[in-house]
Amino acid sequence: MNMPKISSNHDKKDNEEKDKQEVREKQIRAGVSYILVNLVMLWLFQQFILKPLIIRETQIPYSEFKAKITNGEIVNVTLGTERIVGIMKNPEAKETKNATIPFTTNAVPDGDPTLISALDKAGVEYNVTEPPSPLGNFLLAYGLPLVLIGGLWYMGSRQMGGGGMGAGGIFGVGKSKATEVKPEAVGITFKDVGGADEAIAELKEIIQFLKAPEKFAGLGGRIPKGVLLVGPPGTGKTLLAKASAGEAGVAFFETSGSEFVEMFVGVGAARVRDLFEQARKAAPAIIFIDEIDAIGQSRAGAIRMGGNDEREQTLNQLLSEIDGFHTDKDKPVIIMAATNRPEVLDQALLRAGRFDRQITVSAPDLTGRVQILRIHSQKIRLSPDFDIERAARMTPGFSGADLENTMNEAALLAARRNATAVTIQDFDAAIERIVAGLEKKTRIMNEQERTTVAYHESGHALVAELAPRADPVAKVSIVPHGRGALGYTMQMPTEDRYLLTREELQDRLAVMLGGRAAEQVVCGSISTGASDDIQRASELARRMVTEFGMSEKLGTVRYATQQYQFLSGESSTSASPETLKIIDEEVQRIITEQYDRAQILLRDHRDALETVTQQLLKTETIDGAVVKQALVDKAGELIPVN
């Protein structure tokens, strides 16, 4: 029973040993390159800064000096007890620009009694101040730069070497850029987070620990250290971390992974050290690192580039800081990090005792959206008949940040029309803006394009109404919108769904392909306007085959190896070439079936397609009810087709 545990401990130790070894090697390498850089700098300093500064005198014998005085070649001299320096006419004056050059000669030990009179006779300007000693020159040439470089070296090594006394570094580059929020200033609690009940439940334990670490340890709870919040942007990961600090009444440090990514080796690591030092001083505290993937990307898979050494050092520093602070039971520091791509993180980060706790934060469901809209409408005057539930139903897939934006936009729109309260119509208009970007009224579409788009959108809308398990249509529009969308059909789900049957997915596919089917049915030709539809349909069909086991040919086997990724929407497949071929065939079959089905539906309701299209061309935007009406008018009643 104990065996696996022991061996895993052993592994961990080995790995840690390896990490440390790596850090040491990195530091040695960094040190050697530092010395080389300094030597080059010293040489450059002397060549280009000191040489022109320090006067290079030509050494001449005393006899020559005396001869030059008589010949009138000496311009001026400074007489010292040991040396004589001065300016003489340049013997090579024709070849170089300088008519005069400095010279030096050794003085006669007990003084030359004839010198002064010779100088007087030749009319040479002279004085008797002690000239600068060669030692002074030497110090200037070598001592000063050495002192300077030594200073830089000292500061640099303080940054790079482990420990040291604080990581101020040169000009504060090693200072962490994290913002510190004092416990009493956090001002956010779980009440300000909507639709994240599960995440909150998981965070409760962390808060217990932060509030009473001794009690927690006494109860035998394993002391938490790192929490990874995983989810798409805008879903409230930062908010949750901050609210945790608010609930526990501890200090909050917020920073982003990208702030540790720097050009110079050692700077990121110094910042990490500084951040943890600050946090330890303020403990108990929560450190929040947004976008941890910027530093924590897997070392194995990464492309080796210039900045890689730096990132590795930063990551290693982060790891050793996380490993280091567990002993401090009365000054707990919890580190939270957010990412959207946990799969790219270095495994070392996810090892036990580091970010071993993962909390998924997903886009809110219907009830979640209701809660979030309630939270963000607190400071907004809503009209009494504003139905928050309806508003939530209009915004499937919206993140918390999207909802906040929409609510703000609605308030702005209401203010623009000088209203005293925000109505559901304002919210409606705000959704349009958020979903599709600002309306581009200026864009001129030619009549044929407009007609094609109208048929295309009518196709989506009619198939959505006709397919028995598709969500009903809320709104259809051919107003050109941002992000390349020429029009859109908005469906309104009656409820949030977690389980979808194969029939429902097939209906979805038919709706997605309905746009192109309409173009095909009416014009007999197709346009590029459907590329986005096709992409989404292909993705869905592929998932049906590889993830949901909805193909009879392939059976109930999962072929997708990785989790469906939040952002990229990709799922990679691992299968033999033969299987891959069958997968492709199955995807194609599913798509073709639904494309054909959409075409049949539209052919059967050709009149309704015409009615809806004409209405769209007339008013640009129509309500879902118009689509329904068009079908009823023709058929007398709605006949669902298989």
Site for Zn ion, rule CB under 5 A: 515, 533
Closest residue to ligand ADP using C-beta atoms = 400
Is residue 388 at the binding interface for ligand ADP, with CB under 6 A as the rule? no
Is residue 517 at the binding interface for ligand ADP, with CB under 6 A as the rule? no
DSSP 560: B
515 binds, among Zn ion, ligand ADP, none (CB under 5 to 8 A by kind): Zn ion
- What is each CA distance from 361 to 235, 256, 339, 342, 431, in whole angstroms? 7, 18, 10, 12, 23
181 binds, among Zn ion, ligand ADP, none (CB under 5 to 8 A by kind): none
Is residue 239 at the binding interface for ligand ADP, with CB under 6 A as the rule? yes
Q: How many CA atoms within 13 Å lie on the side-chain side of 3?
A: 1
Sheet holding 357-360, edge to edge: 179-181, 251-256, 285-290, 333-339, 226-230, 357-360
Give the ranges where 524-641 is alpha helix by DSSP (H). 531-546, 577-604, 606-619, 624-635
Buried b (16+ CB within 10 A) or exposed e, 86-124: bbbbbeeeeeeeeeebebbbebeeeebeebeeebeeeeb
435 binds, among ligand ADP, Zn ion, none (CB under 5 to 8 A by kind): none
533 binds, among ligand ADP, Zn ion, none (CB under 5 to 8 A by kind): Zn ion
Q: Which of residues 189-228 bind ligand ADP (CB under 6 A)?
A: 193-196
Q: Cβ closer to Zn ion: 368 or 515?
A: 515
Q: Which of residues 368-387 bind ligand ADP (CB under 6 A)?
A: 372, 375
Pick the catalytic residue from 457, 465, 519, 586: 457
Q: Which residues pair with 84 in a beta bridge?
A: 79, 105
For residue 400, the minimal CB distance to ligand ADP (Å) is 2
Q: Which residues pair with 345 in a beta bridge?
A: 297
For residue 456, the minimal CB distance to Zn ion (Å) is 6
Q: Compute the distance between CA of residue 572 and CA of residue 570 in angstroms, rounded to an integer.
A: 6
Q: Is 402 helix (H, G, I), strand (E, B) or coil?
A: helix
235 binds, among ligand ADP, Zn ion, none (CB under 5 to 8 A by kind): ligand ADP
DSSP 382: B
Cβ atoms of residues 521 and 599 within 8 Å? yes
CA 236 to chain CA centroid, Å, is 16
Q: Which of residues 75-114 bind ligand ADP (CB under 6 A)?
A: none
- The contact pattern for ligand ADP, residues 407-426, with x = CB under 6 A and - = no contact, is --------------------
Nearest partner of 50 among 152, 188, 146, 121, judged by Cα? 146
Is residue 310 at the binding interface for ligand ADP, with CB under 6 A as the rule? no
Q: Cβ closer to ligand ADP: 157 or 367?
A: 367
For residue 419, the minimal CB distance to ligand ADP (Å) is 24
Q: Cβ closer to Zn ion: 413 or 454?
A: 454
Class of residue 331 by CB neighbours under 10 A (exposed 0-12, middle 13-18, buried 19+): middle
Q: Cβ closer to ligand ADP: 405 or 614?
A: 405
624 binds, among ligand ADP, Zn ion, none (CB under 5 to 8 A by kind): none
Q: Cβ closer to Zn ion: 294 or 454?
A: 454
Q: How many CB atoms lie within 10 A of CB 59?
A: 9
Q: Cβ closer to ligand ADP: 230 or 554?
A: 230
637 is catalytic: no
Per CB under 6 A, which region of 156-164, 235-243, 418-426, 557-565 contacts ligand ADP?
235-243
Q: Cβ closer to ligand ADP: 334 or 338?
A: 338
Q: Which residues are designated catalytic?
A: 457
